[in-house]
């Protein structure tokens, strides 16, 4: 049986099937015993602990939504809970999984031909082939639906790619990157699986980040990179298809954000019970209890929203605005919760080894990636008013 997290106040975990709960237990144990002890050290050195990749694959965390490669039939709720468990211990490793599994494998699952899926997805699920997702550019972040400058030109049986990408997670060590580019002929966004050793392709690590330091983000440049027509994902015909991938991953990022809030909150609760001031534990002060209870409320409300968004996904009823609202809400509540956790720790809240500082810093990146709060708000705003307010 799976122990209840003290932060799972309403026992949402009981919604998992016995098989799902068992697997969550394995993943939790792996993260607590093998990731937690090394997370701060790798974060401080801004290195990714690559030794975890085979374990992540063994535990079935890569591509669990793909019927052909998943280890067992599972629900979106299960996959969300796994994102929570990973975020609760190390948001950088959770982000690695989000990029490999949700974004790169997701793009191939949504847009790839049967042959591309059969060729790439099993190897990616086993962690033998690492992927990245190249959408954002130096001059186009929030407006990537219309503002991409990377171009694709068809020449016979080949495509020639030119342009730049920024922030591309895992791309410094991945084998392939799904690159989104505008077709010079029809102006539509298309997707290409580009090998990182292709001539003219370059990925440089972005240095000196203050959040998700273990995630290796790259600035990519492409000068006349040639790929075969067979590398084009035929199901990516416009930005709408990219949005389909993001709809699924945003919901998981919302879950991951809950995990980050949970990790910080649990550390702050333990500290509050232990730390004595004025002759008694700080947990006995009303103002500290207020911060802890507000954090618990944030976590509980966010999980409720994520649970329902995941159920809608399984029922085929999840729309872009459902995952956008979950992502915007859960990340905003995460940001408040980690700030309060930091506050409860006093000065110890800003040092890595006391257990909250890393969550506090990482929350800033999660708040902004996969659509900023503003962008996700405008997606929901458009759905409820019928008016698009992006431009
Ligand atoms: P901008 O788009 O320049 O926005 C700056 C600010 O302006 C934001 O607050 C934004 O909300 C606001 N803004 C913009 N337009 C409007 C508007 N119309 N109305 C109101 N406010 C507006 N991308 C990938 O493709 N692949 C990855 O693997 C990847 N990984 C990432 C990992 C990390 C750690 C980070 C930080 C980013 C990653 N990204 C990745 C990029 C991420 O998706 C972008 O940072 C995000 O979309 C925001 O784009 P931007 O940073 O260019 O900000």
Determine contact, residues 150/162, Cβ cutoff 8 Å.
yes
Distance CA 311, CA 48 (A): 33
For 110-141, what is each residue's pLDDT tens digit?
A: 999 999 999 999 999 999 999 999 999 999 99
Residue 103 CA to its chain's centroid (Å): 8
Q: Spell out the per-residue pLDDT of the chain, length 391, in tens.
A: 789 999 999 999 999 999 999 999 999 999 999 999 999 999 999 999 999 999 999 999 999 999 999 999 999 999 999 999 999 999 999 999 999 999 999 999 999 999 999 999 999 999 999 999 999 999 999 999 899 999 999 999 999 999 999 999 999 999 999 999 999 999 999 999 999 999 999 999 999 999 999 999 999 999 999 999 999 999 999 999 999 999 999 999 999 999 999 999 999 999 999 999 999 999 999 999 999 999 999 999 999 999 999 999 999 999 999 999 999 999 999 999 999 999 999 999 999 999 999 999 999 999 999 999 999 999 999 999 999 999 9
Q: Residue 222's beta-bridge partner residues? A: 163, 201
State the distance from the centre of ligand 1 to the C-alpha of 138, rounded, in angstroms. 10
Give the whole-angstrom CA distance, residue 289 versus residue 283: 6
β partners of residue 195? 176
**64 phi and psi angles, rounded to 5 deg:** -65, -10
Cβ-in-10-Å burial (0-12, 13-18, 19+) of 151 comes to: middle
> How many Å apart are CA 268 and CA 344, to the nearest integer?
6
Cα–Cα distance measured from residue 193 to residue 178, given in angstroms and rounded to the nearest whole number: 5
d(CA 334, CA 328): 10
* Cβ(361) – ligand 1 distance below 6 Å: no
Q: How far apart are CA 33 and CA 1, in angstroms?
A: 18
Residue 339 class from Cβ within 10 Å (0-12 exposed, 13-18 middle, 19+ buried)?
A: middle
Q: Which of 369, 387, 391 to mutate to test the pocket of ligand 1 (most atoms within 8 A of CB)?
A: 369
pLDDT tens digits, 203-250 = 999 999 999 999 999 999 999 999 999 999 999 999 999 999 999 999
Contact 179, 231 (CB under 8 A): no
User: ipTM > 0.95?
Assistant: yes
Atom of ligand 1 nearest to the CA of 144: 47
């Amino acid at each position: 049986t799976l122990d209840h997290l003290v932060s799972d106040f309403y026992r949402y975990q009981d919604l998992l099937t016995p098989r799902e709960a068992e697997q969550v237990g394995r993943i939790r144990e792996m993260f607590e015993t093998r990731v937690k002890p090394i997370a701060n050290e790798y974060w401080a050195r801004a290195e990714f602990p690559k030794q975890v990749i085979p374990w992540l694959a063994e535990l079935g965390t890569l591509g669990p939504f793909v019927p052909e490669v998943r280890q067992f039939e599972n629900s979106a709720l299960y996959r969300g809970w796994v994102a929570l468990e990973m975020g609760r211990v190390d948001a950088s490793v959770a982000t690695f999984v989000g990029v490999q599994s949700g974004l790169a494998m997701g793009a191939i699952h949504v847009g790839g031909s049967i042959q591309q899926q059969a060729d790439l997805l099993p190897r990616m699920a086993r962690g033998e082939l690492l992927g990245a997702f190249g959408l954002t550019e130096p001059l186009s972040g929030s407006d990537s639906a219309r503002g991409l400058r990377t171009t694709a030109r068809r020449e016979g049986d080949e495509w020639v790619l030119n342009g730049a990408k920024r922030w591309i997670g895992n791309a410094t060590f991945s084998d392939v990157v799904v690159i989104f580019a505008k077709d010079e002929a029809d102006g539509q966004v298309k997707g290409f699986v580009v090998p990182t050793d292709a001539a003219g392709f370059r990925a440089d690590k972005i240095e000196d980040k203050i959040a998700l330091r273990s995630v290796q983000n790259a600035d990519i440049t492409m000068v006349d990179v040639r790929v075969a027509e067979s590398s084009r994902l035929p199901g990516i015909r416009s930005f709408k298809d990219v949005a389909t991938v993001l709809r699924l991953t945003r919901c998981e990022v919302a879950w991951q954000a809950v995990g980050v809030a949970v990790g910080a909150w649990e550390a702050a609760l333990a500290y509050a019970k232990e730390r004595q001031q004025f002759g008694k534990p700080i947990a006995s002060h009303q103002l500290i209890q207020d911060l802890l209870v507000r954090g618990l409320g944030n976590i509980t409300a966010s999980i409720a929203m994520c649970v329902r968004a995941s159920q809608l996904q399984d029922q085929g009823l999840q729309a872009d605005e459902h995952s956008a609202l979950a992502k915007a809400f859960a990340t905003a509540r995460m940001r408040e919760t980690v700030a309060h956790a930091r506050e409860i720790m006093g000065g110890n809240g800003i040092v890595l080894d006391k257990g909250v500082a890393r969550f506090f810093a990482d929350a800033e990146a999660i708040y902004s990636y996969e659509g900023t709060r503003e962008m996700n708000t405008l997606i929901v705003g458009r759905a409820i008013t019928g008016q698009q307010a992006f431009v």
